[in-house]
Structures are given as C-alpha cells and as structure tokens.
C-alpha cells in the first residue's frame, strides 16, 4: 500500500475524528471510534476527547459510559463500555500473564491473589482511588505489597476481569465480561482499527495493539484483501478518497492516540523530530499539529486559574489566531483561563 503523505495525513486525521467534518458527537462515540483513549494521565485523556468532541465538558466525560482499564499494549485506556468484551478477550490473556510475571518477580503475586476478593468487596462499597483502596486493604489485615509490586497489582486485577476504573481515575468493582471467541475478537479489532486509524498496515496494527504481526495479518485477512488504498476505503465506516482538509491547528495532549497508533509517526511527524515528543522514559509530550504536521510541543505554565500556553517550535509555526482559539478551548474544558504566551506568539503568522 502506497499513499501520498499529504493524503495519508488527511485520511488519518479524519478517521481519528480530529477534523470538524468527522468530529464525534459524544465521549462514547469518540472513544469507540479510536478503540480507546490512552488514559494513564486523566487530564490528558479528557483533553484527547476535547480534540474530538466539540464543546465537550469534563462533566460530560465523567458521566459518559466509559471504562478505564488496561487493554492494547498492556496500557490503560478509556474505552466505550460495550467494547470491553472483545478488548478483554484479546488483551487479558496476553498482558495479564505479563502482569502476573511482573508481580511474581517483585514478590507480590501471592499477596495480590490473597487480597483480590477483599479488593472487590471494598470497591463494591464505593469507587476509590488506588491509595485509599490499598490503605483499606491494609486496615483489613492484608500485607503490604511493597514499593515495586504496588504499581502492577491494579492492572493485574483488571486483567482478572473484576476491577475497572472510572474516567476520573477512581477504581470500581466489575463483573467479568462475557466470553468472546478469539478469532471473532481479532476480526473486530482489525475492522475497528482500520476505521479509526486507517489507512494502515498489519505492522501498524501490531505496533498499536501489542499483538504479534502474524495475529494482525490474520485479523486483516478475515476482512478480505486489503493491500490497496481502495480496499481500505471500501470498509464500512471509513472515508472517501477525498477527506477533509487538516485543521489549521490542533493541540493534542500527552499520549494522544494519533501519536501512538502506528509503527512510525510519519508522515504526521518527521523522523528527525521524534525525540522532541518522545525524549525517553515513556513520556509522550503534548503536540501542536499545524495543518496536520507536528511542529511543536506545548505546555501550560503558571499557577492558579490563569495559565499561559507555551510552545517549543521545531517546525513551521501554526497560525496565532488558531492557536489562541485552541488555548481558550483548553481553558474552557479545564475550567481555567488560558492565553497564548507572549513569547510563544511573537512572530507567528496570523
């Protein structure tokens, strides 16, 4: 499959729901469209939904039928509630065993097994954050997991199917999802991935999902012959070959799926700039997309209610007016007053 870079950018931004013409109408629709919003940072997950759902509020996110749990690549995502069965069917066997091995290596597996029933009992009483959950388990006589195992026990419990999370980061008890045939789940993943990330290859699907390339190929094969752009565009839910133009500016949050959904970040980000957004330690920085190309990282500076949007350009700058509008909308979502920092705005095109 060969697609001209500018067209590929437009197609992917459209399927990612990052253009006005393809924006989602709700948090559930947006999360479903991209098979989950990366959610280790609760604020960043909300901002990822802001990019895809015009006018959405934090209350809309918190009230949506979303589940925060560990899915693709063994990382935590906000997913639509009805996507949990097929994602669990594919991800729990693979990543659950990884978390179990990590717990065993860190000396916490038997402690975790011993506290699982109590963990569910505590969370059935009311949702809790991790710290208060572990404190209550300690008060009920369970041994401390230790500083290394404590970071793995909640993902492990989620893979057992009995713990999930809310959009605000708190944990809750959950019923195990109904079983789904693994081949059916794999075909569902392939179809949904192409609809939310395509055009894309088996290597892209494998990189995003954390599944082997062979499994990704089997999933795509279940959909038929998909080695040409025309084939991909013929799938239900994908776009026509003339997608909308890339927005003038989009401020993507940290860990946005657009930057994590493919084997490489090209053509949205030039390869020589990759370390500008992923410097190490697993931290993927917030990114400025200008006409579909990553050209800067951004951050909110200051304290209190008033904040400044500061930019670190490494490519062609975006338009000041569009940047200011995005800054204000981030402020609206976060309940802050955000303005474009004077130093960052200096010399920008209008």
Q: pLDDT tens for the chain, 350 residues: list them.
A: 467 899 999 999 999 999 999 999 999 999 999 999 999 999 999 999 999 999 999 999 999 999 999 999 999 999 999 999 999 999 999 999 999 999 999 999 999 999 999 999 999 999 999 999 999 999 999 999 988 999 999 999 999 999 999 999 999 999 999 999 999 999 999 999 999 999 999 999 999 999 999 999 999 988 874 544 444 544 444 455 689 999 999 999 999 999 999 999 999 999 999 999 999 888 999 999 999 999 999 999 999 999 999 999 999 998 999 999 999 999 999 999 999 987 666 667 76
| Helix locations, 34-170, DSSP H | 42-52, 58-63, 84-105, 109-125, 130-139, 153-159
pTM of the full structure: 0.93
Tokens for 80, please give them. Answer: 């639509």
Residue 9 CA to residue 239 CA, distance in Å, equals 13
Angle in degrees, 0-180, between the axes of helices 109-125 and 130-139, rounded to the nearest 10: 100
Domain boundaries, the chain: 1-245, 264-345
Cβ proximity of 7 and 169 under 8 Å = no
Cβ proximity of 39 and 257 under 8 Å = no
State whether the Cα torsion 59-303-289-286 is positive or negative. Answer: negative
């Amino acid at each position: 499959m060969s697609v001209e870079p500018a067209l590929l950018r437009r197609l992917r931004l459209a399927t990612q729901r990052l253009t006005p013409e393809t924006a989602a109408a709700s948090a559930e629709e947006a999360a479903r469209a991209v098979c989950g919003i990366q959610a280790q940072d609760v604020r960043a997950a909300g901002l990822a939904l802001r990019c895809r759902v015009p006018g959405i509020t934090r209350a809309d996110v918190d009230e949506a039928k979303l589940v925060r749990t560990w899915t693709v690549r063994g990382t935590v995502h906000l997913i639509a509630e009805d996507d949990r069965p097929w994602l669990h069917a594919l991800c729990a066997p693979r990543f659950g065993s990884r978390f179990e091995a990590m717990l065993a290596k860190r000396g916490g597996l038997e402690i975790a097994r011993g506290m699982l029933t109590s963990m569910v009992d505590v969370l059935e009483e009311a949702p809790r954050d991790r710290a208060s959950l572990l404190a209550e388990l300690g008060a009920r006589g369970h041994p401390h997991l230790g500083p290394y195992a404590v970071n793995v026990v909640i993902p492990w419990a989620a893979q057992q199917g009995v713990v999930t999370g809310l959009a605000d980061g708190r944990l809750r008890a959950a019923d195990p999802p109904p079983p789904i045939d693994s081949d059916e789940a794999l075909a569902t993943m392939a179809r949904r991935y192409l609809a939310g990330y395509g055009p894309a290859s088996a290597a892209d699907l494998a990189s995003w999902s954390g599944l082997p390339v062979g499994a990704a190929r089997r999933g795509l094969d279940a959909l038929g012959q998909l080695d040409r752009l025309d084939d991909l565009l013929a799938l239900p839910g994908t776009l026509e070959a003339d997608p909308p133009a890339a927005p003038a500016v989009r401020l993507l949050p940290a860990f946005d799926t657009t930057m994590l959904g493919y084997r490489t970040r090209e053509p949205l980000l030039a390869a020589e700039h990759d370390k500008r957004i992923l410097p190490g330690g697993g931290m993927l920085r917030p990114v400025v997309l200008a006409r579909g190309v990553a050209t800067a990282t951004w951050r909110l500076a200051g304290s209190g209610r008033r904040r400044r949007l500061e930019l670190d350009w490494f490519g062609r700058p975006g338009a000041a007016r569009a940047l200011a509008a995005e800054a204000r909308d981030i402020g609206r979502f976060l309940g802050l007053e955000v303005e474009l920092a004077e130093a960052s705005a200096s010399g920008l095109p209008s």
